[in-house]
């Protein structure tokens, strides 16, 4: 005979199942500490704050051990040896509050129950407090505070439920001896656990917020770096695309400009032109990807070393006492070799000086600034040094920078194969020194090079 499918559980069975599940969760909370060995205030920034919990628990234990023993012997008539054992069991585990409060609860809670049973065997006092003694209540509240600061909500609820249940059971055992101490402890325990839990949750929220801010700052720095790389790549690709166009035109026109070329040479020029044309197409496709955000590239001529003097003069007009020193071969006029400086190095040198001067205006207004651009062997040296901000000036426009300008400088120098050194000076100023390689045809000979002053290197 077929059986009908099982229907929903009766209400009684559902309640029983829920009760079993809740009891299992409470038992798990009492047996598993959320922070097995991490001390309280372990992440505090100052050393005295990290040591504070140990000082507090040492003071608590040294206070409550003798007080508990004295109360048990004088107020409840417990024999001295037994009172000493109970006092140590109820108060000595307070030393564990800084790093293992749940384990301390597993010692103190049974010791308090055992103490209540021992006091039950002694003659009743007219005004005696039972089942919990006054020092036992105070020590237990400190224990609960440590639990609330460290353990999860499930654990503190289980501890509070066990505390209330113990008071009810002891009241049922000796209702004539019971006072209001059990009810008082249950109420105070709830208050202390709620306060400790609220403080713990606030600390967790603050730590998560700090972690999120750290992650956000790292992501922001990474995004800035990528944006700066993209912007620099656009400029460098424009330069490379220009040279590829020149190669294509020269290779295509070589057979017409040079008479009497062998057939093999014409084929070689044709192959060079085809390869350059293909590379130029790839370059333009890459450039279109870099500009896929909808922004148009700057079609104006890019600035270079020939416009440094104008840049420094504009900075001086803005109120910054700056001066420019250029080596002879980089100065405009007869004998200048500015045209031989690679476009990428030329543009990077200008941008580095521009950003360095902008940083001085923002962070050290009125500071005396020196800009030096020279060649040394096979390298172009760009040096920007400023002193401390002038006292007569107002406060800096920015007291702390984001570092984005330095990121851009570093990326530009890295893409040219050079190095960048930046850092504060002992007098409160700042130094930016870039060193970028030059092709052998551009670099001056050792005899003609203008060596940099030793103090500027």
Structure tokens belonging to residue 312: 């420094």
Q: Which of 263, 290, 317 is the last residue of a domain?
A: 290
Query: In this predicted structure, which of 2-11, 26-35, 58-67, 212-221 has the lowest mean pLDDT?
Result: 2-11
Query: What pLDDT shows up at residue 146?
Result: 92
CATH number where 338 lies:
3.30.565.10
pTM as predicted: 0.48
Q: Report pLDDT digits (tens) over 209-246.
A: 888 777 777 777 777 777 776 776 666 666 666 667 66
Query: What pLDDT shows up at residue 390?
Result: 77
Residue 4 falls inside a structural domain: no
Same domain as 328, residue 362: yes
Beta strands in 356-456 (DSSP E): 369-376, 379-386, 419-424, 430-437
Identify which has the larger pLDDT, 141 or 268: 141
| Number of domains observed in the structure of the chain | 3
Residue 345 falls inside a structural domain: yes
Residue 9 falls inside a structural domain: no
Portion of the chain with pLDDT greater than 90, in percent: 30
What is d(CA 8, CA 14) in angstroms, rounded to the nearest whole number? 9
Structure tokens belonging to residue 271: 């192959």
Same domain as 441, residue 318: yes
Q: What's the count of helices (H) and strands (E) in the chain, helices before strands?
A: 11, 5
Same domain as 234, residue 123: no
Same domain as 84, residue 168: yes
Portion of the chain with pLDDT greater than 70, in percent: 76
Same domain as 254, residue 157: no
Same domain as 84, residue 131: yes
Same domain as 105, residue 59: yes
Q: Which of 242, 263, 290 is the last residue of a domain?
A: 290
pLDDT category of residue 399 using cuts at 50, 70 and 90? very low
Among 100, 71, 96, 101, CA closest to 86: 71
Cα-based angle 228, 231, 237 (whole degrees, multiple of 5): 135
Same domain as 326, residue 445: yes
Query: What pLDDT shows up at residue 457?
Result: 37
User: 3-state DSSP call for residue 390?
Assistant: coil
Structure tokens belonging to residue 45: 């920034």
Residue 199 has pLDDT above 60, yes or no: yes
Residue 380 falls inside a structural domain: yes
Query: What pLDDT shows up at residue 316?
Result: 85
Q: Distances in Å between the alpha carbon of 447 and those of 436, 441, 456?
A: 20, 15, 20
What is d(CA 278, CA 272) in angstroms, rounded to the nearest whole number? 10
What is d(CA 97, CA 143) in angstroms, rounded to the nearest whole number? 7
Residue 79 has pLDDT above 50, yes or no: yes
Q: Which residues are within 8 A (CB) of 376 and not within 5 positions of it... i.e. 6 or more apart?
A: 449, 451, 452
Residue 299 falls inside a structural domain: no
Q: Which residues are within 8 A (CB) of 186 and not within 5 positions of it... i.e. 6 or more apart?
A: 160, 163, 164, 167
Q: Which of 179, 211, 241 is the last residue of a domain?
A: 179
Same domain as 159, residue 46: yes
Query: What pLDDT shows up at residue 289?
Result: 60
The HSE-up count of residue 282 (CA atoms within 13 Å, CB side) is 8
Same domain as 440, residue 390: yes
Identify which has the larger pLDDT, 373 or 400: 373
- Domain containing 238 equals 227-290
């Amino acid at each position: 005979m077929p059986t009908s499918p099982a229907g929903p559980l009766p209400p009684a069975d559902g309640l029983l199942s829920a009760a079993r599940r809740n009891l299992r969760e409470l038992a798990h909370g009492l047996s598993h500490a959320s922070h097995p060995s991490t001390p309280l205030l372990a992440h505090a920034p100052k050393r005295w704050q990290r040591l504070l919990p140990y000082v507090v628990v040492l003071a608590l234990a040294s206070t409550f051990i003798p007080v508990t023993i004295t109360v048990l012997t004088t107020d409840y008539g417990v024999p001295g040896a037994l009172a000493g054992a109970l006092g140590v069991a109820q108060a000595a585990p307070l030393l564990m509050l800084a790093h293992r409060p749940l384990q301390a609860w597993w010692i103190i809670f049974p010791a308090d129950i055992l103490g209540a049973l021992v006091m039950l065997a002694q003659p009743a006092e007219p005004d005696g407090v039972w089942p919990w003694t006054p020092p036992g209540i105070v020590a237990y509240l400190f224990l609960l505070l440590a639990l609330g600061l460290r353990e999860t909500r499930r654990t503190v609820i289980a501890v509070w439920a066990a505390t209330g249940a113990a008071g009810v059971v002891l009241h049922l055992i000796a209702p004539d001896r019971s006072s209001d101490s059990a009810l008082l402890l249950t109420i105070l325990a709830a208050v202390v656990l709620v306060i400790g839990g609220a403080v713990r949750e606030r600390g967790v929220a603050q730590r998560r917020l700090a972690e999120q801010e750290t992650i956000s700052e790292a992501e922001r720095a990474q995004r800035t770096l990528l944006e700066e790389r993209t912007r620099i790549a656009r400029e460098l690709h424009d330069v490379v695309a220009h040279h590829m166009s020149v190669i294509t035109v020269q290779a295509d026109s070589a057979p017409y400009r040079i008479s009497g070329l062998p057939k093999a040479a014409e084929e070689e020029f044709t192959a060079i032109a085809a390869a350059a044309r293909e590379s130029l197409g790839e370059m333009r496709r890459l450039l279109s990807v870099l500009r896929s955000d909808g922004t148009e590239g700057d079609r104006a001529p890019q600035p270079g070393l020939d416009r440094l003097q104008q840049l420094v003069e504009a900075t001086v007009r803005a109120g910054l006492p700056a001066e420019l020193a250029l080596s002879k071969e980089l100065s405009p006029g007869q004998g200048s070799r500015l045209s031989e400086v690679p476009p990428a190095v030329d543009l990077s040198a200008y941008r580095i000086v521009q950003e360095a001067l902008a940083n001085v205006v923002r962070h050290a207004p009125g500071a005396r600034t020196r800009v030096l651009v020279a060649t040394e062997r096979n390298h172009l040296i760009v040096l920007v040094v400023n002193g401390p901000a002038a006292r007569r000036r107002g406060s800096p426009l920015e007291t702390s920078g984001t570092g984005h300008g330095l990121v851009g400088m570093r990326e530009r120098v890295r893409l040219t194969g050079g190095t960048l050194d930046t850092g504060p000076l002992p007098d409160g100023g700042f130094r930016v020194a870039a060193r970028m390689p030059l092709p052998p045809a551009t670099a001056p000979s050792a005899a003609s090079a203008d060596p940099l002053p030793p103090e500027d290197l």
